[in-house]
Structure 1
Amino acid sequence: MLKTIRAKYKYYIFDSVDKVNLKKCPAMKYIVLTLYILFIVCVSSLSKSINIPKDFKDIQEAIDKADLGDIIIISDGEYKKDIMINKSIELCGSGQEKTALMGSIVVQNAGPVIIESLTIKGDKGNNAHFGIYCSRAFLTIKNIKIFGYHHGIGSESSKLIIKDSFITENFQVGVQVENSLTTFIEENDINTNTGSGIRISSSENNITITGNIIRKNSIGIEIIGSSPRIRRNAIENNQVAIFSTQESNPDIGIDDDPGLNVFISNPVVIINMTRRLTIQAKGNYWGDSNGPNNSAIEGKIDYIPWLKSNPLKTQSVCQYGKLSVCWGNLKGSSMSQKNSF
């Protein structure tokens, strides 16, 4: 139990530890860790499981009556309900294929909150703006399928983790992050959204986009006044793979930390609208052993050196949940130097 809860809250506590100035107060880190251990012991002894519909028929009623740290387990079935979460709980379905919610989830002024193992679905007649939306919260989303909303997931002024999820067929943006405190978008399949797969705005630091499949969106990753770190993604069949504007300075790969991203079948790979900044995009595969062609990039982009070979060429296109196989080949690929474009 202690190990499980430790995993749930690791991002929260270690983010606090990282902000400690060890030069001024080296003992503070140990004080924070001690408090964390005490917190874990307290939570593990007090949390309980609440079952839907056994204990409560209504999900919102279960949330309202839950204590901090409780786990609400939703049984198989389809539930038509909008949900508001304003306390630290875990909302857990029985799996994407078994538990479906038709409605929106709003997480506000709360955390840590975990939502996992269910499908959240809208439709053309659904007026909900977001499938999941969080504001001033700390939210972890795991093993979720979201489709049929204006925006799949939205976050404002929050700490957000999205992992192992399937975000598809939303009418505008798959994942929208604004004024982020910390965001990790890891190992998801984000595809077939009418607008951008991911949109990051007004978020300067602590944004990591890694190990995702981002495909068949108008724009794969849209960056507005932000500086995300982008690594090991398969960005395929978007009209534009990455669009960067308004003084954005994304890190798509540097000399000692190559991007290892794969760009395949995107008519335009990177557009940099900030003329005074050069985007670092080293160590990526551009769909050709010769690197990007003239029409693939716009603006100042430093892409030398690049990956020379396609890690997906000798195997089927990487499927959701199997990225680690692809990246093993990618890391072993040779890199090419080119003096001028």
Structure 2
Amino acid sequence: MKYIVLTLYILFIVCVSSLSKSINIPKDFKDIQEAIDKADLGDIIIISDGEYKKDIMINKSIELCGSGQEKTALKGSIVVQNAGPVIIESLTIRGDKGNNAHFGIYCSRAFLTIKNTKIFGYHHGIGSESSKLIIKDSFITENFQVGIQVENSLTTFIEENDINTNTGSGIRISSSENNITITGNIIRKNSIGIEIIGSSPRIRRNAIENNQVAIFSTQESNPDMGIDDDPGLNVFISNPVVIINMNRRLTIQAKGNYWGDPNGPNNSTIEGKIDYIPWLKSSPLKTQSVCQYGKLSVCWGSLKGSSMSQKSSF
């Protein structure tokens, strides 16, 4: 399914690329919203260096591209509604303690890709409802509640992001079945790393560190954290509670992960039915801490030294 979605996306971009034009802010328009309103489908709006104070509504297929996270800052919220594909990349979106904005970026019934973007200082960093969503190579930090909130997802890929220091959950997935992929992320210093409500996400190759609870799964949920022929390869480090499974009927499959100890998880750090055997006896990371890295692929080592335990499930 992932490759079908990406193929259709590429075909769309190829079709519109010959017709698209670039619009420069502030050369062509001083106001970002005016540029969006005047843009045609597929146009690229390039935002030059500087800080822009503006709430933005996107309701057509465009690309909104800054000059880099350290150069282009938007102080306001972006809403993407009934539109797609839309790309937002290479900028910082920031709120502050006095900002009443609920989300940094919010999309509804849309197809949105967020790349190389830093979002901080909102109630929720990113919110998505009934949408197709790709979040990649981004930095979601210091939001007052949830870093990334996804509800009723059509398709969601959360890949290679640093999601940290959010007061609530780093990622919250709700009312979404098996169309969520969470892979290659650093998820650290949140109250809950990944909160799963009535959903069944696939969770692979994440480094989940220093959260109060790494994974919280409600009674309606059934996440896939690793099976026999497709191990999870997630790394859990210094989380006081690693997994809470509130579903008393189902066992969470969590095979082939590293639990911060060669002997596997301590029973005091897990709650509910968890099938974690076999587990990785050593971390596939090059270091026992991932905090100094901005991207998980940088610090992922060879799996050859990370042998599996040979114990069977109980």
TM range, normalised to the smaller chain? over 0.9
CA contact (8 A) 1:318 1:326 kept: no
Q: Identity percentage over the alignment?
A: 96
- Cα displacement (A) at 1:322: 3.9
Q: Give me the whole-angstrom Cα distance separating, in 2, the residues matched to 1:108 and 1:307.
A: 43
| d(CA) in 2 for partners of 1:177, 1:34 | 23
CA contact (8 A) 2:226 2:254 kept: yes
Deviations 1:158-189 (A, max 9, x none): 00000000000000000000000000000000
How far 1:205 sits from its partner (Å)? 1.9
1:231·1:260 contact (CA, 8 Å) conserved in 2? yes
Q: 1:246 to 1:104 in 2, by over 3 A?
A: same
Per-residue CA distance 1:22-55 (angstroms, 9 max, x = gap) = xxxxxx9999999989855541221000000000
Aligned partners of 2:139 and 2:161 also within 8 Å: yes
Whether the aligned pair in 2 keeps the contact of 1:232 and 1:327 (CA below 8 Å) is: no
| Matched position secondary structure for 1:328 | coil
Given the superposition, is the C-alpha separation of residues 288 and 33 from structure 1 closer, same or farther in structure 2, using an over 3 Å criterion? closer
1:73/1:296 Cα in 2 relative to 1: closer, same or farther (>3 Å)?
same
Q: Taking structure 1 as reference, are residues 46 and 214 closer, same or farther at Cα in structure 2, changes over 3 Å only?
A: same
Q: Which moved more, 1:176-185 or 1:244-253?
A: 244-253
1:126-147 CA-partner distances (Å, limit 9, x unpaired): 0000000000000000000000
- Scaled by the length of structure 1, what TM-score is found? 0.87
> How far has the Cα of 1:327 moved from its partner?
2.8
Instruction: Point out where structure 1 has 5 or more consecutive residues left out of the alignment.
Output: 1-27
Cα distance change on mapping 1:77 and 1:40 into 2, 3 Å: closer
* Contact 2:286–2:301 (CA under 8 A) maintained in structure 1: no
Which protein has the bigger helix share?
Answer: 1
Shift in Å at residue 271 of structure 1?
0.4
Q: Secondary structure at the match of 1:295?
A: helix
1:242 pairs with 2:210: no
CA distance in 2: counterparts of 1:327 and 1:188, whole angstroms? 14
Gaps of 5+ in 2: none
Displacement of 1:84 in angstroms is 0.1
Against the structure 1 CA distance between its residues 206 and 111, is the aligned structure 2 distance closer, same or farther, given a 3 Å change threshold? Answer: same
Tell me the CA shift for residue 325 of structure 1: 4.0
Distance 1:69 1:157, change over 3 A: same
Provide the C-alpha distance between the structure 2 equivalents of 1:307 and 1:100, rounded to a whole number of angstroms. 41
Q: 1:178–1:200: 8 Å Cα contact kept in structure 2?
A: yes
Residues 71 and 29 of structure 1: CA distance in aligned 2, closer, same or farther (over 3 Å): closer
Deviations 1:256-312 (A, max 9, x none): 000000000000100000000000000000010000011111000000000001234
Counterparts in 2 of 1:315 and 1:35: CA distance versus 1, 3 Å:
closer
Larger relative contact order (CA 8 Å, sep ≥ 6)? 2
Asked which structure has the greater CA Rg, the reply is 1
The number of residue pairs the alignment matches comes to 314
Question: Does the CA contact (< 8 Å) of 2:139 and 2:163 recur in 1?
Answer: yes
